[in-house]
């Protein structure tokens, strides 16, 4: 594997890893703190209006908090989604994580085919021995062909 240059992979010894993750601007822990501060501010303002006699502000504040909480929960559930492709020795291992569910596929590197699903900007299909896995959903479509050629190059290298 010496002499190979990778744009998207991390090489450590004889192992090559591609880690493709969702681009998240806020981590789930930060999201929790932001939601807590939003609750405090919103309920604080609603309490002030409640004391002044505007009774309908409080139910709408609770409705807002619940709606935002549901949206934040859905975001947080998918914040750690990603794909990991590892090539070590004669095995190519693909792990797909979606909403906390991990799918794993293992291939013999000599039989793996790497090709776009339908066109140049589509997902990358890794297939061998009757199994197919699609990768590249967390990568910009115009970079997928470069990733596919990089995986092909790594598979041929050893």
User: DSSP readout, 27-79?
Assistant: -HHHHHHHHHHHHHHHHHHHHHHHHTT-TTHHHHHHHHHHHHHHHHHHHHHHT
**How does residue 42 score in pLDDT terms, banded at 50, 70 and 90?**
very high
pLDDT at 78 over 70: yes
Question: pLDDT tens for residues 128-149?
Answer: 988 999 999 999 998 998 999 9
Contacts of 99 (CB under 8 A, 6+ apart): 77, 78, 81
User: Residue 13 carries which DSSP code?
Assistant: T
Q: What percent of the chain has pLDDT over 70?
A: 95
pTM, rounded to two decimals? 0.76
The Cα–Cα gap between 34 and 104 comes to: 34
pLDDT digits (tens, 9 = 90+) for 113-126: 998 776 667 899 99
pLDDT digits (tens, 9 = 90+) for 91-100: 999 999 998 8
| Predicted pLDDT at 35 | 96
| Matching residue, tokens 């934040």 | 72
Contact criterion met (CB below 8 Å) for 126 and 113 = yes
Q: Of 16, 26, 17, nearest to 80 (Cα)?
A: 26
The whole-number pLDDT of residue 83 equals 95
**83 has which bridge partners?**
20, 96
Q: Rounded to an integer, what distance in angstroms lies between the CA atom of residue 97 and that of residue 88? A: 20
Task: Provide the pLDDT for residue 34.
Answer: 94
- What is the predicted pLDDT for the residue at 6? 86
Reduced to 3 states, what is the DSSP secondary structure of residue 116? strand
Q: What pLDDT, on a 0 to 100 scale, did the predictor assign at position 158? A: 60
- Whole-number Å distance between alpha carbons of 144 and 41: 44
Residue 77's pLDDT band (cuts 50, 70, 90): confident
Q: What's the pLDDT score for residue 147?
A: 92
Strands, sheet with 131-135, edge to edge from the N-terminal-most edge strand: 113-116, 124-128, 131-135
């Amino acid at each position: 594997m010496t002499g190979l240059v990778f744009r998207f992979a991390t090489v450590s010894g004889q192992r090559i890893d591609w880690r493709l993750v969702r681009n998240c601007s806020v981590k789930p822990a930060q999201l929790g703190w932001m939601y807590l501060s939003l609750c405090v501010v919103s309920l604080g303002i609603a309490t002030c209006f409640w004391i002044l006699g505007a009774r309908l502000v409080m139910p709408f504040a609770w409705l807002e908090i619940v709606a935002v909480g549901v949206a934040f929960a859905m975001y947080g559930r998918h914040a750690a989604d990603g794909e990991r492709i590892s090539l070590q020795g004669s095995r190519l291992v693909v792990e797909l994580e979606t909403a906390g569910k991990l799918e794993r596929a293992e291939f013999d590197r000599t039989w793996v085919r790497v090709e776009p699903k339908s066109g140049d900007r589509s997902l990358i299909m890794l297939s061998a021995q009757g199994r197919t896995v699609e990768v590249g959903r967390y990568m910009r479509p115009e970079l997928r062909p470069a990733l596919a050629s990089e995986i092909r190059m790594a598979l041929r290298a050893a």
